[in-house]
Amino acid sequence: MHNRLVGVVTGGTKGIGKAVVESLARTGFDVLFCARNEADVQALQNELVAKYADQSFWGVSADLSKPAGRQLFSQALTQNCSQVDLLLNNTGVFLPGGILTEAEGTLEKLVETNIYSAYHITRAVFPLMKESKRAHIFNLCSTASITAYVNGGSYAITKFGLLGMSKVLREELKPHGVKVTAILPGPTKTASWEGTDLPDDRFMQASDVADMLLATYNLSPSAVVEEILMRPLPGDI
């Protein structure tokens, strides 16, 4: 375990999360990841174990919007990892709607999923990052973290909040030598866009975000990229 870097990815079976898990595995990391769907978790773990027999992978089925799910994932962390070098807080959900018109409970659901998950998992992981000489936390924000738009509603509120959390963490963790990076991707071809009739070239690929994350992680110890803003070449949709 001590010979290899260890990455932790939440929401790791689809889209950007899965692209990052696969990228870390290719680079030689041991990886602990989670998602809500047990079948998806098991399928990805089997795939990784078969492909990278010398590395360790732990898939956990957990809903990080719920205290019980966060506790389950935190236990898996402490049981399997003596240190963590990279954390990607990627768990999130998108529900369109307006602040005045969206269904009752939408804000609560999105806050629990998009902010509580990152807040509590960061707190659980940090003690294990103290053992690392290359500790780095990435929070998956959005262009919705900086750009207000109609029909953004509670989603934009939570993504603004996650960017704020990233800025606070950056200040708190400077004395500990832990890097913090907020990633703000625009439209990326993931499950959120299933059913769209827009062409693929209107989107970034999930692998683009994973490549940027890894390039940022691999900078020298004296440099940190605080924010990564990425958009499709033609701009936002």
The domains found in the chain, sorted by start residue, are: 6-230 (3.40.50.720)
* pLDDT value of position 72: 98
* DSSP state letter for 214: H
* pLDDT value of position 39: 98
The answer to whether the pTM exceeds 0.85 is: yes
* pLDDT value of position 2: 47
* pLDDT value of position 175: 97
Closest-CA residue to 182 (of 120, 126, 138): 138
* pLDDT value of position 189: 86
Per-residue pLDDT of the chain (237 residues; tens, 9 = 90+): 447 999 999 999 999 999 999 999 999 999 999 999 999 999 999 999 999 999 999 999 999 999 999 999 999 999 999 999 999 999 999 999 999 999 999 999 999 999 999 999 999 999 999 989 999 999 999 999 999 999 999 999 999 999 999 999 999 999 999 999 999 999 998 877 777 888 888 999 999 999 999 999 999 999 999 999 999 999 988
Task: For residue 209, count CB atoms less than 10 angstroms from its CB and return exposed for 0-12, middle for 13-18, buried for 19 or more.
Answer: buried
* pLDDT value of position 1: 42
Question: What is the Cα–Cα distance from 23 to 54, expressed in whole angstroms?
Answer: 16
In the sheet that holds 179-185, the strands lie side by side as 57-61, 30-35, 6-10, 86-89, 136-140, 179-185, 227-230
Closest-CA residue to 21 (of 110, 91, 81, 122): 91
Q: What is the set of active-site residues?
A: 155
For residues 148 and 163, the answer to whether their CB atoms sit within 8 Å is no
